[in-house]
Amino acid sequence: MKASEWIQLVERLVKEDKNVINKPVKLFGSCLVSLNRDYYLVLLSQNVCYLLGHKQDSFPRAVEVQWSKSLSFEATAIRLHPNGNLGALVGERGVACFSIDISSLRWKLFHPKVVIDVVEIGRSQSCGGVFDLRSDLIVKDVCWHPSSTSHLCLLTSDNTLWFWNVLSDVEEEEQRLSIKLPDSSNVVSFCFGIGPGWEFFTAYVTSSKGEIYYLCPVYPFGCYIPLQLLNSLRQHVEARYNFSFEGKGPTSQKLTFSTRENKSIDSWTKHSFDSKGLGTSDNTIWMESTRLQHLFLEECWMACEMNDNIKTQRDHRNSSLSLSLGRTISRWEPSIQGPIVIQKDNKSSFYKGEDYCLCMLESKGPFPILIHTSSSGYVRIYIQLEQLEPLFTISHNISKEKDGDIQLSENSLRFVLFENIELFSSAKKESYCPFVFQDFGESVWYHNKWFSNDLKQHGSMYFIGTESQLFLLRIPWLHLTSEEWISGLELATSKIHLLATTPNTMENDSSTELYNFVRGLTFFIETECLGVIVHFGNDHMIWIPLVHFPLKSRPLDQWNSMASELDEMLKQEDENTIYSQRPLEKRFEELFQVIAKPPRYAMDKKLDSVELETGLRFLQDAVTKYREEYISNFEKLSLILSDALEKIPKGLEKVERKLENVQALLKESQMQLANLENKLTLSKRISKSLLERAQTIREALIEGRGRLSKAELAWKERLSGQWKELSHYQHYVENLKKSVENASQSLVKEPSEKLCYFKKEELENIYQSLNEHTIVLDKLFSMSTKLEQASMMKDNNYNK
């Protein structure tokens, strides 16, 4: 399917929506998200959402999403969990969570609407919602916790960090952390740490003045903690401060790992800061903090042991043994620490903005990496120099009269400004902070699931959206290993590319003020070209090709051989399919050069129409015959199905008529049986009378009468007629029995409960009774015949 067809479908849905969002809003995710390679969700205004199906070489399909409950706020973005099964509808005045089963989506596309369960968090039936109680409370930032499968974290305007376990309780929060910065500034953004040390339990926050602080320990109940992490932290505490904790806490066997597992962590531990620079009082504080660190690790072990939650936890990075941290652990109060010292930072115009965005990047290297963006148009990449050594406090050890927030000395934790990237001059004039589109895991998800591990350069690609522009940030050194860092490999500097600007759709209508801004983006594959679809504030979308890559994940050095194979195949099938006289291999190379280079839609810069037309024409020629064949097969299948649907009602009518005939036959048989029962009753009375007459005849013969009387002869003739009539009835019953048997066989083939009016055993009983009376009549007729013969012999003798 072409990206243009997909975009046309979305724009048609937008035209039907009469309330398009035409004003800038705070983005907490993206309005266009991909559930997987084949299904997308697009969010319009007033919580109208569509599920879009995208299959290769197929037509786009759109189904409206019907939320199970109406929301009290208007959502402006969707924030998906990395596993794809949970999502959040986020707005400035509320958050709602929904779950979706991706495996059943292909069946839901055949229904007119897809019903998805949704529930607002923090809203109870008795007390209302959290945001209803405070009109000034708004959402500042939203993030799913990376080590949990169900924890959603919210940052609100009152400097509060909320933790919600959406799978257990959506009415009451699990944790609530109130953040108080030393300079009384507001917290505007946050992210969770990613690293081999205490970063796992750390949350980084940025203030409205651009300073970065961190909180530790921060952990949701039920999160998965790697066994290797707990072991390495405990070993580091013992080795760094020469403590010995043998014989305390859990059994030491569970804390033993091979040297290979701890190699990467030990290599980073060597770079930790020198404690000689700390004064005596600082050493005392750190010693107490270290003791609390050990207590915290021991409580983690105890909590995990009591729950017996040791299991193998798999994620997109690796597979390792993990522990599920239960609620039996004590409530540790994290301390706000900082501000973090940034080396090589000259306090430039980066801090002139009023809005910031903070994002922790996942790296294979030995150092955690932060991206810090500002509304003044700067993107800064920070590298953490040393291992994080947080100061620990426990809630019952903090005096209420003292301030529990502890500030670190400048030697405690340092970051270095590794790169300072300035956006284009047009971006500086905007009032919205650049937003890093790293939500729903594009940089990790698609290169792991679509192309295995072949495209490492895509793992270092990030998108930054501003109010009217979209930038592509490439960090080539992001996934360098520790060995490559130590070897002193020359690092290529990061580069930022302008991919798209707001399309000018209101050239002819200057009176209408329409705000255009980047609302979201998602990856999209058209044939063998990977690109992104950009979603703007006026719900206008464009597709930007990024790189051309074979679907079979062949390396680029095999490109020429694959082109030659395709060239020979096309020549053998039809020579007329070749568009020009140039070799197909040459045209593939030219097409690759056109598509591999990201186009620029900035200001007055546009793509070369000749190059673009050549590339599109070639792609059209390459897939035309396959698309036509698919459409032809689809039409044939449609005809077969329509013909089958037409024949099915006719067959049902024939069956109905046949059943009606059988039913009529059974009713007639039932009436005949009723008549036979009446005649049988009459025959029994006649038989009784005949027996009496026969007894009279027998007595007369015994007495020796010479001849029969006229009454007796008349009775004899009547008896003969009755016998003939009974024989006729017997023959009729036999024919009726055969008809009933045939009807019963037909009913066995066409079973129906409504037509079973009698049983076969009842007919057998009737037939047996008639047969018995027929035998009696037959004997009587034989006796009367003998009497007649005897009387005739007497008459002859008398005459003589």
- Read off the pLDDT of residues 235-287 as tens digits, 9 standing for 90 and up: 777 776 555 444 444 333 333 222 233 333 344 333 333 334 434 455 666 67
pLDDT at 772 over 80: no
Amino acid at 472: L
Average pLDDT over residues 214-240: 79
Within a 13 Å sphere around the CA of 201, how many CA atoms are in the beta-carbon half?
A: 26
Q: What is the predicted pLDDT for the residue at 709?
A: 66
Amino acid at 40: Y
pLDDT band at 168 (very low <50, low <70, confident <90, very high): confident
Q: How many CB atoms lie within 10 A of CB 558?
A: 11
pLDDT band at 28 (very low <50, low <70, confident <90, very high): low
Q: What is the predicted pLDDT for the residue at 598?
A: 39
Higher pLDDT, 308 or 202: 202
Q: In the chain, what are the domain boundaries?
A: 661-799
Q: What is the pLDDT of residues 704-725, one digit of tens each?
A: 555 566 776 777 777 777 777 7
- Report which of 685, 686, 684, 674 is spatially closest to residue 769, judged by C-alpha positions: 684
Query: ∠ CA(230), CA(234), CA(238), 5° rounding?
Result: 170
Q: What is the pLDDT of residues 542-555, one digit of tens each?
A: 666 665 544 444 33
DSSP letter string over 677-735? HHHHHHHHHHHHHHHHHHHHHHHHHHHT-SS--HHHHHHHHHHHHHHHHHHHHHHHHHH
Q: Which of 96-100, 589-593, 694-698 has the lowest mean pLDDT?
A: 589-593
Mean pLDDT of the chain: 65
Find the helix or strand (DSSP H, E) in which 6 lies: helix 3-16
Q: Which of 79-83, 253-257, 305-309 has the lowest mean pLDDT?
A: 253-257
Q: Which of 9-18, 110-119, 684-693 has the lowest mean pLDDT?
A: 9-18
Q: Which of 174-188, 539-553, 561-575 has the lowest mean pLDDT?
A: 561-575
Q: What is the predicted pLDDT for the residue at 708?
A: 60
Strand partners, 381: 371, 419
Q: What is the predicted pLDDT for the residue at 233?
A: 82
pLDDT at 597 over 50: no
Q: Which of 295-304, 465-474, 566-575 has the lowest mean pLDDT?
A: 566-575
Which range of 421-425, 475-479, 668-672 scores highest in mean pLDDT? It is 668-672
pLDDT band at 173 (very low <50, low <70, confident <90, very high): confident
Q: What is the predicted pLDDT for the residue at 617?
A: 62
Q: Which of 322-326, 437-441, 536-540 has the lowest mean pLDDT?
A: 437-441
Q: Report the length, in residues, of the chain.
A: 800
Residue 587 zone, left/alpha/beta (φ > 0; ψ -120 to 50; rest): alpha
pLDDT at 769 over 80: no
Q: What is the pLDDT of residues 722-757, one digit of tens each?
A: 777 767 766 776 776 677 666 666 655 554 444 444
Find the helix or strand (DSSP H, E) in which 86 lies: strand 86-91
Q: What is the predicted pLDDT for the residue at 771?
A: 67
**Alpha helices by DSSP H, 270-399:** 280-307
Is the Cβ–Cβ distance between 72 and 129 less than 8 Å? yes
Sheet of strand 319-324, all strands in order from the earlier edge strand to the far edge:
224-226, 319-324, 310-314
| Cα separation values, 355 from 215, 434, 504, Å | 21, 9, 26
Query: What letter does residue 8 receive in the DSSP assignment?
Result: H
Average pLDDT over residues 333-346: 75
Q: Which of 116-125, 285-294, 403-412, 490-499 has the lowest mean pLDDT?
A: 403-412
- Report which of 332, 108, 32 is spatially closest to residue 198, judged by C-alpha positions: 332
Q: What is the predicted pLDDT for the residue at 492?
A: 66
Whole-number percent of the chain with pLDDT over 90: 1
Q: What is the predicted pLDDT for the residue at 68?
A: 84
pLDDT at 200 over 80: yes
- Specify the long-range contacts of residues 163-170, CB closer than 8 Å, at least 24 apart: 163/220, 164/97, 164/121, 164/122, 165/220, 165/221, 165/222, 166/86, 166/97, 166/121, 170/97, 170/119, 170/120, 170/121, 170/122, 170/123
Q: What is the predicted pLDDT for the residue at 705?
A: 55
